[in-house]
Every structure is written in C-alpha cells, then in structure tokens.
Structure 1
C-alpha cells in the first residue's frame, strides 16, 4: 500500500514539474497515436430524447469509429446543487442502464463513474489552484452558472430565440 502511495506521489510531482517547465513537442510516435475520445453525462433526471439525439447517439457511433473511447457518468458535476444521496445513487444506476440500453458497448468503450476515479478530484484541485477568478469570469459557462445560482435568468435553449428562461 505504501509503495502504491509513493508511486502516485511521484506521478503528481512529475506532473507539477511538467506544468512549470511547459510542454515539450511530442515525439513522432505520440503524434501518430490513436486519438482518445472522452465525454460525460450527468446522472440527473430521466434521460430524454434531447440526451439521445444530442449525445448518446453520437457516442454509440464514436465507439465504432475510434480505438479509445471513454464515457463517464459525471456524478461529481451533479453535486453543484443539493442532492438526495439515495436519489443520486439510483440516478447513476438508471443512467448506466440507459446508456447500455442505447448501445454503449463495454467491450468497445470504457464507461465509468467519475467519483470512483480519485485522480479526477486530485487533478481538479491542482487546476483550481491555477485558475484565478478573473479568468473564470470571462468564461460563458461560469457566467451562466453564477447567474442561475443567483436566481437570474439564462438564455433559453435554441438558436436565436432571443428569449430567456428562469432557471
């Protein structure tokens, strides 16, 4: 156990050093490597036609087109608002079942629960320490999220509708 912890610490030290040095050009073998696809979906609510047409249908196609595909049920993204733990657990199971029923094949892609990968939160801490508030305030998602948390309105879904909806 101690050896595993030491290896993980060594990896993080190397990562932090690499951040300070900057990126070096990738060797030719890495440039020619298979591209990796990653996407995630929140387990909040019942999957609907918009989820299917907007993401899941594409996910099924991508797993046939690419050699390395990772899909995540991003349950940590769901806890930005209060959640009932029992309901969230059930929603994670329901979303997993829905993805499998829609054609996500565990033999062709990797499907995982975000909170089961501790490196995700560890890297999140590092990145959070590096991004300052003024930079966040320029990002569209940040503006929409903070506006909705304050009870303001956010743009409605749909191109050029010009209306807003209460979140």
Structure 2
C-alpha cells in the first residue's frame, strides 16, 4: 500500500466494556457514519484494550462485543461500506505490537498523558501492569498494521496519534534503508523525466536545507502525479525527500472530530461511571421515565416559581436536540413561570425518541438473527487480516525476520 493510498484509510476502535449510550452515538458513531462515505474505513472492537482495565472481570467484555456491533449497525455504520472486526481475531496486531516494543523507548510510554491520568481516575483498579503501560503502543500497532493515514480522535487523544507518528518515523529510520537505498532513489528520480527530476531535486534541497514544509508537500504532490514509476520507487522517493529511507509504516494524521459533549441526566457529561446515561437502544418507556424524573432548577419548587434554564440539566439537552424556536420558548417560559418542568421536558423526550426510532428499526433484524452479526464480523476479520498480513510481511522483511 502506498503512502498516498494510506491517506484514504481510516482506523478507529471502541472498547466493549458495557452498553453504548447516546454519548457514544453523538461523540463517535455519527462521525463514523459520515466517514464511511469518504474513506476506506476499518472499525474494530478493541477487546484487548478492554482487558487492560477489565482483566479481572472479562465476562463484561464478552457480553458487550456483539451488542456493541449491533449498536454500530443500528447507528448507521454500513457493513457494505466499512470493515468491522474484532481486534483479538486479527493476531497480527499483537505480533506488530511485540516487534514495535523492541525499538520503542520506555520513556515514550511513561509520558503519555492518559497513563498517569487513568491511574489516578481508576484508583480502585490495580493498573500497575505491563499491559496498561503498553496499551498506547498497542494502539499504535492497531493503526500502523493497516497503514491508516487518518485516525478520528478528540483533542484529548491527539497525543496518542503523535506518539504513533514518532514510532513510525523511528521504525522507518531504523529499518527503511535497504542496501543501495540512495542509488535506487536516484534511479527512481531519473524515471520521472528531466523536468520533473529537476523540480524534485530543488524541492528536496529546499526542505532539507531550509525546513520548508511547503516544498515537502509540493514534492509529495509531484510524486503522486508520476505515472511511470513503480510503487516501490514511489515509496523510496517519499522517504528520500526527507533524507530518510523507504516509508514502510506511513505516519498517520489525527482527524479531529467535532467535540460533542453529550450531557447526561444530571448535567454532567454522559458516562456510565456517573450512572446518568440513556442507552442507544433503550426502550421508549424507560427513556420517558428517565427524562420525566430528571432534576430541574432546584430553585423552582412550585409551578409559579420562575426558573433559570442555565441551572437546569434539561436545558443542556435542549441545546443538543431543540431548534431555535423551541429554545426561545423554553427560555421565556421557564423564566416567567409560563411553562412547567414537564412541559419543558416534552420536546426533549419527543426528539430523543425520534432519534432512536430508525436505530431500533435497523437493529431489529440483527437482534432477531445474531448469526447475521457474526457473519458480518467474520467477513470483516478476513478483510482485516489480509491487510494486516501484508503490512506484517513487509515489517518482518525490513527487520530481517523473513526467513526463506
């Protein structure tokens, strides 16, 4: 796979540690549904990652895997447009993780922001384990095994992608220079033709001597346009611009997702650890009950008391679900005591039930026929393994582990 093609491939995963809720839908799944139309998408169930924090209670993982895949499909992820698979069914992830661990400095793992942060937040769990320390490297292996060029993340996860870029850069530096690399790169330049070769050399010089990033991007675009160079030569030309070797593992870019802070029933961020969630496929009666019993502005004791929407968790749900007209109605009606709290909650209830309606409809056939889900995953695993094996073969060849 070329560096150009890798830019069209997206990789993202989700840990199966319980039922998915509307926070997952608004924060991740709606974005996946959009991405599948524009990119080659690989979406995986990160069951090994779940074990890093739930190794003492693995039955939660097993119970959650299939339900989570149904949630994905119900949310609109199309098995015909995206590859869905289970991480542990593609052992190449683990083998690449092992190989990368041989050349990854320990300090890189210890400085990952979420390493100390998660240990502080999850003090009830024993996380002084090798697996927990190494999970950022496993994340890097997840990305690099598919040579994914784009990784959809929130701002708090950018550091993980940056570490993956550093690992790819280090790997390419250590193992990308096969014997006679410079000579082969020079031969490849000549294949571009005199005019293009001259432009390439000028751009390369500008980048290496002046650090001109614009020259680097222009040179990359020039390589992409070449019709008469082989895939191998193209990769050498990409690596040679930066003074390095062949690009075996392309550096991924973070694809920043719009921050969608889905409020929970108590006004905090929706999270199962707070017990304030509404499930993606929760039944209508339960949704209605949860919202009708939500706490409102504590100062509004009686119907005749004016309220302040800014102090009410229900208003935060209006921010997500209501149009400008409804929001104005809430602001005026609440502050003047012109509407009651149950009146205020009704548009939110209606909007959530309407959002869930197509989700329930899409989920129905998979809930009734679990074998459909298993066949989708089996097909996805096959596709994922083909891609992963191709990468691993090249990695092992570069590291001198391809014995013939």
Q: TM-score, normalised by structure 2?
A: 0.29
In 1, the alpha carbon distance for the partners of 2:105 and 2:120 equals 19
Q: Structure 2: which 5+ runs fail to align?
A: 126-260, 262-272, 275-404
Q: Which residue is 2:341 aligned to?
A: none
Question: Is 1:57 aligned with 2:30?
Answer: yes
Of Structure 1 and Structure 2, which has the larger fraction of its residues in strand? Answer: 1
Question: Is 1:36 aligned with 2:9?
Answer: yes
Question: Is 1:78 aligned with 2:50?
Answer: yes
3-state DSSP class of the match of 2:36?
helix
Aligned residues: 126
How far residue 80 of structure 1 moved from its aligned partner, in angstroms, is 0.9
Q: Which residue is 1:16 aligned to?
A: none
In 2, the alpha carbon distance for the partners of 1:109 and 1:83 equals 32
Q: Which residue is 2:113 aligned to?
A: 140
- Contact 2:41–2:83 (Cα < 8 Å) also in 1: yes
Question: Is 1:95 aligned with 2:61?
Answer: no
How far residue 149 of structure 1 moved from its aligned partner, in angstroms, is 4.8
Of Structure 1 and Structure 2, which has the larger fraction of its residues in helix? Answer: 2
Task: Provide the aligned C-alpha RMSD in A.
Answer: 2.6
Tell which structure's C-alpha radius of gyration is larger.
2
3-state DSSP class of the match of 2:13?
strand
Following TM superposition, the consecutive aligned residue runs of length 4 or more in structure 1 with deviations greater than 6 angstroms are: none
Greater RCO between the two (CA within 8 Å, min separation 6)? 2
- Contact 2:17–2:60 (Cα < 8 Å) also in 1: no
Q: Which residue is 1:163 aligned to?
A: none
- Contact 2:18–2:60 (Cα < 8 Å) also in 1: no
Q: Structure 1: which 5+ runs fail to align?
A: 1-28, 153-157, 159-165
